[in-house]
Amino acid sequence: MTPENAPVFVLLALLVLAALVWFLANYNRFVRLQGHLRESWSGIDVELKRRHDLVPNLVATVRAHAAHEREVMERVTALRNDAVSRRAGVADLGREESRLDTALRQLVAVAESYPQLKADASFRRLQEELAITEDRIAAARRFYNANVRDLCNLREQFPTSVLAAMFSFDRPEFFAPEADAERETPRV
């Protein structure tokens, strides 16, 4: 290297160093966002499990007061069991949970027809727990979907889209209710 080439060499070294720093920083952003995504999904999973654990108690309480409403209770139980056993993709789980939401609304509507059930302390407590759980699921869903949005934005923006393609950073799915009717908060 001659003294007249030194500035060019330094400039090239700085450009390579800048590219390396950019590469490492953005790769780490992808990794960090994927970690946030896993964390936020576990929050949804915890709340869904909590709801799934409440459903049998709610069904048993309604069954004690409204034995002839067997069809609704069997449907809720079957959908709860499907939701617990299926761990497919986010979209599939969203559909399962939407069906369970609809069935729970029907179960609560049945319960509204029985004044002695509405007065039952354990039923009221289960209703309150279910309402709190639904709120927690909604909050966890918002947190998860915000992380999905951030990761998707990073994946789709240039030049980080090149990095996403190089390392196969997949596009995550949003977790949303299946239909517009299910976007309403369940009345419990």
Mean pLDDT score, 144-170: 94
How confident is the model at residue 178, as a pLDDT? 65
- What is the tens place of the pLDDT at every residue in 104-140? 888 888 777 777 777 778 888 888 899 999 999 999 9
Return the closest-CA partner of residue 128 out of 103, 108, 106, 100: 108
CB 61 within 8 A of CB 126: yes
The pLDDT of residue 180 is above 60: no
CB 115 within 8 A of CB 59: no
Between 155 and 72, the higher pLDDT residue:
155
The pLDDT of residue 148 is above 90: yes
Mean pLDDT score, 33-40: 95
How confident is the model at residue 179, as a pLDDT? 56
CB 164 within 8 A of CB 155: yes
Helices (H), ranges, the chain: 6-65, 70-85, 90-112, 115-119, 121-156, 160-166
Amino acid present at 103: A
Q: Where are the domains of the chain?
A: 36-183
How confident is the model at residue 127, as a pLDDT? 86
Structure-block tokens of residue 93: 């789980």
In angstroms, the CA 68 to CA 80 distance is 20
Between 72 and 43, the higher pLDDT residue:
43
The pLDDT of residue 188 is above 60: no
In angstroms, the CA 175 to CA 34 distance is 15
172: CB partners within 8 A, 6+ apart: 37, 90, 147, 148, 151, 152
In angstroms, the CA 61 to CA 100 distance is 18
Host H or E run for residue 94: helix 90-112
Q: What rounded mean pLDDT belongs to the chain?
A: 86
In angstroms, the CA 184 to CA 97 distance is 13
The pLDDT of residue 51 is above 70: yes
Domain covering 36-183: architecture? Up-down Bundle (1.20)
Q: Distances from the Cα of 182 to the Cαs of 21, 103, 110, 138, in angstroms?
A: 46, 11, 18, 12
Structure-block tokens of residue 35: 């970690």
The pLDDT of residue 86 is above 80: no
pTM of the model: 0.78
The pLDDT of residue 169 is above 80: yes
pLDDT-derived band at 1 (thresholds 50, 70, 90) equals low
